[in-house]
Amino acid sequence: MRRIRAISAFPTLFTLGNLVCGFFAIVAASRIAKPGDTFVPVPSPKLDSASELFLSSDPTHNVMLCGTLIFIAMLCDMFDGQVARLAKVTSDFGAQLDSLCDVVSFGVAPGILLVKMCPQFTHIHPMGIWTIAAFYACCTAMRLARFNVETDDEDDHSSFEGLPSPAAAAVIASFAIFSYKVRNETNFANFEGFDWWLQRFMPLVALAIAMLMVSRIRYPHLVTHMIRGQKSFPQLVAMVFVIMAVLTVGEYAIPMLCVLYALTPPAIHGWRWSWRRRHLLHRKAG
């Protein structure tokens, strides 16, 4: 039996912060109003204290809170690996703990949020939303387990096989925050129409990103690409534009950026596969 002699404290605290955020995201999701509850839309609450942040009277506030906590968990997950590599204190313990925390924050929490966000999907199939959410959580666990088995210490972490679980969770969390923003900026009738489409659209999106997680499609590691090496001037302009867009209209820009990151590599992969197939058919025909 191998015993752990020492643990790097700073990266581990970030990893556990990821878990804590995932846990409270589940708590926030469990408090989302049940289908059929009647309520009148209220303006976005003034968050003057931590208690108001977690104890809002707005029934859909918990949707936004759950999505926000998932994003904070993403930041913790991003920093723990970077800090460990910079400090040269990576370990098997840290890798396994990170994956366990990721299953909670990026598998279970988004799955529960999906169920709470889309209760009307049961009109299409009684157990449809539950099945999709469970499938999403299973794909997250399998994707993380495959990553642990296939990744070695010499990997430069410049890309991933399959959609990373934090990016998949970001798609669901970003639409949760977006729906809260729409509800508090439009009248209830407009939000009702938007919510009708969202509840039928999001489960299909979750099903697609779940399958992308366990695919073999290559995805770039954005943080690694941003901090490593020199960038061209157009790349720098693009980075500044994205940052300004997020700071200015974050609730609208973030869902689009998340979906763009999730769908661009499959689109490129499909185009390349189609081009190679056509080229092969032309060679056989010739």
Whether the model clears a pTM of 0.75, i.e. scores above it, the answer is yes
Closest CA to 170 of 226, 212, 128, 122: 212
Query: Cα(76)–Cα(79) distance, rounded to whole angstroms?
Result: 5
> In this predicted structure, what is the pLDDT of residue 57?
55
Do residues 195 and 179 touch, judged by C-beta distance below 8 A?
A: yes
DSSP state of 153: T
Quote the tokens at residue 153: 């210490």
Residue 220: CB atoms within 10 Å:
14
Q: What is the pLDDT of residue 41?
A: 45
Closest CA to 105 of 64, 53, 166, 60: 166
Rama region for 229: left / alpha / beta (φ>0; ψ in -120 to 50; rest): left
Please name the amino acid found at residue 244. M
Q: Give the pLDDT of the chain (286 residues) as one tens digit per residue.
A: 666 655 677 788 889 999 999 999 999 998 887 655 544 444 455 555 555 566 665 667 888 899 999 999 999 998 887 777 776 767 788 888 999 999 999 999 999 999 998 888 888 888 899 999 999 999 999 999 999 888 776 666 677 888 999 999 999 999 999 888 887 765 555 667 777 888 889 999 999 999 999 999 999 887 666 666 666 777 678 778 878 877 777 678 889 889 999 999 999 988 988 888 887 877 777 6
Nearest to 69 by CA among 21, 35, 5: 21
Give the C-alpha separation, 193 to 233, whole Å: 43
Residue 50: exposure state from Cβ atoms within 10 A (0-12, 13-18, ≥19): exposed
Rounded Cα distance between 97 and 101, Å, is 6
- pLDDT value at position 39? 46
Q: What is the pLDDT of residue 186?
A: 57
Residue 55's pLDDT is: 63
